[in-house]
Amino acid sequence: MKKQWIGFMIAGMLVAAVPTNVNAEDCYHNWSYSADYTKLDDTYHQAEYYCYYCNAKKTEKEKHTWLYEEILEDQYDANYHTVQYECMDCGAVKTEKQAHSWEDEDYDEYYTYYYENKKYHTYEQKCEECNAKRELRAPHRYFSFYDKIAKYATFNKKGILVYSCIDCDGTKKVYKKWKSGTDYSRNYDIKHGTVFNRQTSITVKLKRPSKGTVLQATIGTKKYKKKIKNNKKTVKLNIKPAEYGEKVKLALYYKGKKIGKDSCDYNDEVWYSNRVTEGMTQKQVRYTWGAPSSTSSSSYGFTYWNWDDGSMVSFRNGVVDYWFDAAN
Ligand SMILES: [Zn+2]
Ligand SMILES: [Zn+2]
Ligand SMILES: [Zn+2]
Ligand SMILES: [Zn+2]
């Protein structure tokens, strides 16, 4: 419209400046810009021109001069939206379909994800030009680590780990077999007290007493077994008197599979009894009562050890001759 108006101005000025008394047949014509267009069909309009000199008129069939107009935001289907163009000369209008330009899928923070089923979530993508939306589905995405232990694995039952989808609130459960040392597996380790050389039983503490498991103690070369039948945390295992310094090892088994180990990093040897008896060496007494607070010697091969609680031991020629135990 604006151009038509300018056309009128220019034509008007030139017409005013040039006399129009020239005979049309003699005129070499100087055609104006057209200011008058008529739409003919979807491809053509007709333009009218006037000669500046003789006022002769001619018409031309010309193609529309399409000018991009706008996207009709509410006219769309699944794949296309509508772009409307207008001829800048005659005002004719045409529309064309144009593929949607869907939001870039890499920018997933655009989206809100909805859980659909075990495998998929859905999200809605928008056309950047019109109001079209489409629903897409994608498989859930899980980090390689789980976010919850729903159930701890035990030696005879699988545990359940829960993974959450990074995008939606979907979760998946993964069943895991018990495996020693993993954070989703129950711990069946065991502990024992000090084993003295004259003991006829050993006391073992079970972290998780479980029926059907078998406690095995190895003391020196001897092996002892006991089947666990209740939920008591403390178990006594009968043994034959062991030798000082023999190694003590414990393990817990279920159907031949080792499920718990000895978590003692001390007390793994047989010690002397806490009772001092005649004939013990100084080394054995030291193991039994600890180091004395004072010692003294006399002639005839006597040595005396004294402790703060009043206990004392008298050694003759290096072995216990008599003693006094203040604690008993
Ligand atoms: Zn002319
Ligand atoms: Zn046109
Ligand atoms: Zn669109
Ligand atoms: Zn998901």
Distance 62 CA to ligand 1 centre (A): 21
Determine what percent of the chain is predicted with pLDDT higher than 70: 91
Distance 48 CA to ligand 2 centre (A): 12
Q: Is residue 165 in a domain?
A: yes
Question: Could you tell me the residue range of the domain that residue 305 belongs to?
Answer: 282-324
Residue 56 Cα distances to 12, 15, 28, 113, angstroms: 15, 12, 11, 70
Contact 66, 96 (CB under 8 A): no
HSE-up (13 A, CA, CB side) for residue 71: 16
Ligand nearest to the CA of 117: 4
Q: Is residue 19 in a domain?
A: yes
Q: Is residue 203 in a domain?
A: yes
> Are 9 and 56 contained in the same domain?
yes
List, as ranges, residues with CB under 5 A of the ion ligand 1: 27, 29, 51, 53-54, 56
Q: Which residue has the higher pLDDT, 20 or 222?
A: 222
- Number of separate domains in the chain: 5
| DSSP helix/strand/coil, 9 | helix
Q: What share of the chain is helix, strand, coil (3-state, %, to 5)?
A: 10, 45, 45
> Are 161 and 207 contained in the same domain?
no
Distance CA(13)–CA(52), nearest Å, equals 10
Q: Is residue 215 in a domain?
A: yes
- Categorize the per-residue pLDDT at 1 as very low, low, confident or very high, splitting at 50, 70 and 90: very low
Number of neighbours of residue 152 by Cβ within 10 angstroms: 17
Tell me the pLDDT tens digit for each residue of 58-87.
999 999 999 988 999 999 999 999 999 999
Q: Is residue 81 in a domain?
A: no
Tell me the pLDDT tens digit for each residue of 288-319.
888 899 999 988 889 999 999 899 999 999 99
> Are 197 and 267 contained in the same domain?
yes
Among 51-55, 261-265, 308-312, the least confident range: 261-265
> Are 232 and 286 contained in the same domain?
no
Q: pLDDT value at position 65?
A: 94
Residue 277 Cα distances to 199, 281, 285, angstroms: 15, 10, 9
Scan for tokens 């509508």, then name that residue.
82
Beta-sheet pairing, 120-126 with 133-139: antiparallel
Distance 124 CA to ligand 4 centre (A): 13
Contact 211, 228 (CB under 8 A): yes
Tell me the pLDDT tens digit for each residue of 171-211.
999 999 999 999 999 999 999 888 887 788 888 999 999 99
Structural tokens at position 50 = 């006037």
Q: Is residue 93 in a domain?
A: no
Q: Is residue 92 in a domain?
A: no
Ligand nearest to the CA of 78: 3
Report which DSSP code applies to 61. Answer: E
Domain CATH code at residue 194: 2.60.40
Q: pLDDT value at position 21?
A: 63
290, burial (CB in 10 Å: exposed 0-12, middle 13-18, buried 19+): exposed
The DSSP bridge partners found for residue 7 are none
List, as ranges, residues with CB under 5 A of the ion ligand 4: 121, 140, 165, 167-168, 170
Stated as kind and residue range, the H or E segment containing 285 is helix 282-289
Distance 212 CA to ligand 2 centre (A): 94
> Are 238 and 302 contained in the same domain?
no
Distance 80 CA to ligand 4 centre (A): 28
Distance 51 CA to ligand 2 centre (A): 21
> Are 198 and 263 contained in the same domain?
yes
Distance 108 CA to ligand 4 centre (A): 12
Q: Is residue 100 in a domain?
A: no
> Are 195 and 266 contained in the same domain?
yes
Distance CA(16)–CA(18), nearest Å, equals 6
